[in-house]
Structure 1
Amino acid sequence: MVKLLYKPFGIIFGLLGGLLASALFSKVWKAVTHQDDAPDPGDEERGWKEILPALALKGAIAGVVKGLIHRGGATGVRGLTGTWPA
């Protein structure tokens, strides 16, 4: 039952996490490369040497943020209900 009740909150937190990860990636990219925009995979004029590091960094940040949010939410639910939701 706790898993079912947790599901809508997990979806909302996941969406917020995506926004947070995107904003964090933009800040990290700008700090590391001193470029305002990361290369887009669909940009024909950008090469693999530019695109792959951006994709790897974006994926790493998204994975960490997703994991933190999932773990934090599950820990919070366990604290409130005594049951692990995931």
Structure 2
Amino acid sequence: MVRYLPIFIALALMVYCIVDVAQTQGDVVRRAPRWLWLTVIVVVPIVGPICWLVLGRPTRNSGGSGGTTPPRYPDDDPDFLRRL
């Protein structure tokens, strides 16, 4: 069973990165299209997911609105609370 552990870890990492790329907003992520990231993750099993996690994954502050994000819940939105 222990000899199959690296295969399971590589497969789990690949699935996690594929889902992460699929949920990332925008067609271009860190100067490469999403389809290219997906191809690299699937074709190069260990190095591809690691490259996505280190080089491709967008940072939290890389939103297009200058760092301000809209409120996620109605309780956090002052305009919504004013209308109550």
Shared fold, TM over 0.5? no
More strand by share: 2
Bigger RCO of structures 1 and 2 (CA < 8 A, at least 6 apart): 1
More helix by share: 1
Which has the larger Rg? 2
Q: TM-score if structure 1 supplies the norm length?
A: 0.35
